């Protein structure tokens, strides 16, 4: 119930500025969790998604249809940042048009506080533009900026972001205190930070359309991959109960008719006997006509014969695996051996998965990575009957690989995150020319007419 003296809090998901971007089941999970927390405290909330593919003004724009809720963002070419001017690719704003954004701001009731998130570190120019347009409408409303970019690059954000407050801690720990400081409205946490089951569901209902629902069963990751900042962003592992996850699936299916669900977990199959197996068995017992997807990848070692059968029976359609490389002599982790990879693929195929359902991420652009190793990995994955999916490496602060990335990069990546854009292959001393990249992409083009499968790590 909304209190009569409750403040109005506006939440904003900013634009992306980049050489390329596509909605591969991407939604601001952290931001929408905060929206639901604030709403549960009896406050007024509004939400504007600058990436909204379903904005009412977009109805007259031509659009391509993609399966399972994915889709292309609205795209507007813009000038490249000066530091990226030498790269021979077009640069764009992805998301709604600025005039749509300004109109949506002007017609709403003036907010008391504006909360903005940030994601990829090198997308900060999109955040800057978002704040700029907000300031043209609400000059005196305090702006709070959080998210991954701020947490990883706090000193840079302090210097270049026109925000009143920067949040480098997990948002749920501080958001109510910030609102109280800015508005005087007092509220108490109605959930236990350590117990994820007590959190309200993310506020996906505030979208114009719900093409899919992201699911997060676990906060944190038990693995510490050299290229990943998960361990820095989440210091501990917290897991929801199986019943709570299933209740959320049923909620979105029954109330909003959602058919596609996307697992955002970093380690969905970790300790599968205790969690994934009983979770999948319970999902199957409900006999729902729904589909699941794993764009964040699942760990191949955990794909046993029983797990593979349950994945297929429960409705997984796009199964992405975190392979990284087939060069097992020089892997940066100990998560996998060749025999485990081979066995996992056989288990999946025997369970009923087809090649078009399966993809393995291969990292390219790593520091000191040999080009022969990339080609060999692509060929080996293809021979296994799985789609190789190229994932460009992004150097990320607070990871084990960061120091070496800074050492090897010809760019000042430690001074400006704009240089960590994976499209420019920031850790290749001589760069990675487009001819060579095209050759890699051509090698991945063979299964079901799929070509240029490229994602960001």
- Would the pLDDT of 327 be above 70? no
Segment 255-262 mean pLDDT:
98
Token pair belonging to 145: 């900026």
Return d(Cα 42, Cα 197) in angstroms, integer.
Answer: 20
The pLDDT value given to residue 456: 42
The pLDDT value given to residue 2: 67
Q: Helix 371-383 to helix 434-444 angle, to the nearest 10 degrees?
A: 20
Return d(Cα 331, Cα 9) in angstroms, integer.
Answer: 46
Segment 323-336 mean pLDDT:
61
In this structure, of 64-68, 132-136, 308-312, the range with the lowest mean pLDDT score is 64-68
Residue 290 CA: distances (Å) to CA of 265, 295, 297, 357: 18, 17, 19, 16
What is the percent of the chain with per-residue pLDDT over 90, rounded to a whole number? 73
**Phi then psi dihedrals of residue 353, to 5 deg:** -70, 140
12-41 pLDDT, tens digit each: 999 999 999 999 999 999 999 999 999 999
Segment 313-331 mean pLDDT:
79
Q: For the domain 8-183, what is the CATH code?
A: 3.40.50.280
Q: Which residue has the tokens 């996850």?
A: 245
Q: For the domain 212-456, what is the CATH code?
A: 3.80.30.20
Three-class SS state of 99: helix
The pLDDT value given to residue 107: 97
On whether the pTM is more than 0.85, the answer is yes
- Would the pLDDT of 338 be above 80? no
Q: Helix 276-286 to helix 305-314 angle, to the nearest 10 degrees?
A: 30
Return d(Cα 320, Cα 361) in angstroms, integer.
Answer: 7
Three-class SS state of 117: coil
Q: State how beta strands 143-145 and 16-18 pair.
A: unpaired
The pLDDT value given to residue 14: 98
Domain boundaries, the chain: 8-183, 212-456
The pLDDT value given to residue 15: 98
361-387 pLDDT, tens digit each: 999 888 888 888 888 888 888 888 899
In this structure, of 217-226, 290-299, 438-447, the range with the lowest mean pLDDT score is 438-447
The pLDDT value given to residue 457: 39
Token pair belonging to 80: 């490249």
């Amino acid at each position: 119930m909304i209190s009569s003296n409750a403040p109005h809090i506006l939440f904003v998901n900013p634009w992306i500025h980049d050489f390329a971007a596509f909605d591969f089941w991407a939604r601001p999970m952290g931001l929408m969790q905060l929206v639901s927390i604030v709403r549960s405290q009896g406050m007024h909330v509004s939400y504007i998604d600058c990436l909204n593919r379903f904005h009412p003004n977009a109805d007259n724009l031509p659009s391509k249809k993609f399966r399972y809720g994915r889709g292309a963002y609205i795209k507007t070419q813009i000038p490249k940042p000066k530091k990226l001017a030498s790269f021979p690719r077009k640069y764009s704003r992805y998301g709604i048009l600025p005039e749509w954004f300004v109109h949506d701001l002007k017609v709403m009731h003036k907010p008391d506080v504006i909360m903005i998130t940030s994601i990829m570190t090198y997308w900060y120019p999109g955040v800057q533009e978002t704040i700029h347009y907000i300031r043209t409408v609400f000059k005196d409303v305090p702006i709070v900026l959080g998210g991954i970019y701020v947490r990883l690059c706090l000193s840079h954000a302090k210097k270049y972001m026109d925000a009143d407050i920067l949040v480098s801690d997990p948002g749920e720990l501080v958001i109510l205190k910030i609102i109280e400081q800015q508005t005087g409205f007092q509220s108490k946490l109605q959930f236990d930070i350590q117990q994820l089951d007590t959190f309200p569901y993310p506020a996906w209902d505030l979208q114009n359309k719900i093409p899919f629902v992201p699911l997060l069963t676990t906060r944190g990751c038990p693995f510490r991959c050299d290229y990943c900042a998960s361990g820095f962003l989440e210091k501990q592992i917290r897991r929801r109960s199986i019943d709570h996850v299933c209740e959320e699936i049923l909620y979105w299916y029954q109330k909003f008719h959602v058919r596609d669900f996307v697992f955002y977990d970093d380690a969905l199959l970790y300790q599968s006997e205790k969690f994934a197996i009983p979770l999948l068995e319970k999902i199957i017992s409900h006999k729902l006509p729904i589909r699941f997807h794993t764009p964040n990848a699942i760990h191949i070692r955990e794909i046993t014969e029983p797990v593979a059968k349950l994945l297929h029976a429960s409705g997984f359609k796009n199964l992405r695996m975190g392979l990284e490389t087939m060069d097992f002599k020089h892997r940066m982790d100990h998560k996998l051996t060749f025999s485990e990879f081979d066995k996992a693929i056989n288990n999946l195929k025997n369970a009923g998965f087809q090649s078009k359902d399966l993809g393995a991420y291969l990292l390219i652009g790593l520091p000191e990575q040999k080009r022969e190793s990339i080609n060999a990995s692509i060929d080996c994955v293809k021979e296994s009957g799985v789609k190789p999916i190229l994932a460009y490496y992004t150097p990320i602060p607070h990871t084990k690989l960061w120091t070496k990335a800074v050492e090897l990069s010809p760019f000042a990546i430690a001074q400006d995150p704009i240089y960590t854009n994976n499209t420019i292959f920031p850790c290749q001393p001589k760069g990675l020319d487009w001819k060579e990249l095209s050759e890699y992409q051509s090698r991945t083009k063979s299964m079901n007419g799929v070509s240029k499968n490229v994602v960001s790590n």
